[in-house]
Structure 1
Amino acid sequence: MAGDNLHKRIIVMGVSGSGKSKVAEELARQLNLEFIDGDDLHPEANINKMARGIPLNDEDRAPWLERIRCEISGFGHNDKGCVVVCSALKRRYREQLRTGNPGIVFVYLHGERAVILQRMQKRQGHFMQASMLDSQLAVLEVPGPEENDVIEIDVRPTLEEVVRQALAALSAQPEPGTAKVISG
């Protein structure tokens, strides 16, 4: 399966606490693709702002999204694949990430607020505070049917099951970006 995905560029998206990093790391491992944590690409000012419990705005996110877009683009030009963690909450953020990156696929991790909040409250050492979940949910523009490069996965199952569903949906796509698959 890893050989079939060498040119894939996958973005694991969703609100903080949805399991993006763990799912993306496992997808990258199983598909033998590079892993990029979008949190590592945030400017220090963004991290400091979130650590103080202040939500980011569009102006804060713009250079971060551009940095992620460029990272993904580099993998396309080098005939490599990558799995990237990026919240990509708004449609225009996803459009920005798609620019110059044909064949990108989004894996949208979603779930009930209570489930995600509980996960956020259990994790330690992350700059994103659980109190900011509501601001992310308010900003989130759920991908619609016209975004046919998005695979939707419910986060309630185990990590292993979420990854299994994502892998099955990714392999079911005849070409990246040509079919929308909803799992869960």
Structure 2
Amino acid sequence: MASPIVVMGVSGSGKSTVGAALAQRLRVPFADADDFHPAANIAKMTAGHPLDDDDRHPWLEAIGDWLAQRCATGGVMSCSALKRSYREQLRRHCPDVQFLHLAGTPEVIGRRQASRPGHFMPASLLASQFATLEPLDADERGTTIDVDQSIDTIIDTYCANNGITTEQEKR
């Protein structure tokens, strides 16, 4: 496995949990895009205001730099990557990046968000996340998997769909 993977989806879809578990299974570095947000972005979201594209640009550049450093060795990044233009910005840094879109209904995601108190992204912004979301297009390297199943099942499905065998996982 050489290409980095971005685990994408709306807030509360399980990106960080699945991303960390996938990175552990593949034995590659993991990073959470939340850790790349500047303080102004976190303050804006904490106040209940959605980010705009100007807010996201430098954040996506920092994530793209992380991916670029792992184009040849692999890695897993959890990042919302809600719009195709955001994914294209990441692909400019690492053209072979793959996406794992964790998809779910607003009801399922809402239940998940309610179970994580203290996160800077308030549940009130979930509707704006779904409104912004542009699912993967057929010409984008990626897989969409329903989040309403176990983490192991999601990872097993992703690996099976992308030809990642047990031998590759052990490397």
SS of the aligned residue for 1:99 comes to helix
2:94 is matched with which residue: 80, 101, 104? 101
SS of the aligned residue for 2:5 comes to strand
Structure 1 stretches of 4+ with a deviation exceeding 2 A read 170-173
State the shift of 1:153 in Å: 0.5
Aligned match of 1:10: 5
SS of the aligned residue for 1:72 comes to helix
SS of the aligned residue for 1:141 comes to coil
Post-superposition Cα deviations, 1:95-142, rounded to whole Å, max 9, x if no partner, equal 000013122100000011100000001112211111110000011111
- Structure-1 separation of matches of 2:31 and 2:164: 24
Q: Could you say what the CA RMSD is over the residues aligned between the two structures, in angstroms?
A: 1.3
Q: Which moved more, 1:107-116 or 1:136-145?
A: 136-145
Gaps of 5+ in 1: 174-184
Aligned match of 1:38: 33
TM-score normalised to structure 2 length: 0.92
Aligned ranges 1:1-150 → 2 under 5 Å: 5=1, 7-76=2-71, 79-147=72-140, 149-150=141-142
Preserved contact between residue 99 and residue 142 of structure 2 (Cα < 8 Å): yes
Preserved contact between residue 18 and residue 151 of structure 2 (Cα < 8 Å): yes
TM-score normalised to structure 1 length: 0.86
State the shift of 1:171 in Å: 2.2
- Structure-2 separation of matches of 1:64 and 1:100: 13
Structure 1 32/172 Cα, relative in aligned 2: closer, same or farther at 3 Å? closer
Preserved contact between residue 3 and residue 74 of structure 2 (Cα < 8 Å): yes
- Structure-1 separation of matches of 2:130 and 2:81: 12
Q: Percent identity?
A: 46
State the shift of 1:63 in Å: 0.4
SS of the aligned residue for 1:36 comes to strand
Paired AA for residue 55 in structure 2: D
Preserved contact between residue 33 and residue 82 of structure 1 (Cα < 8 Å): yes
State the shift of 1:172 in Å: 5.7
How many pairs does the alignment contain?
Answer: 165
- Structure-1 separation of matches of 2:13 and 2:120: 15
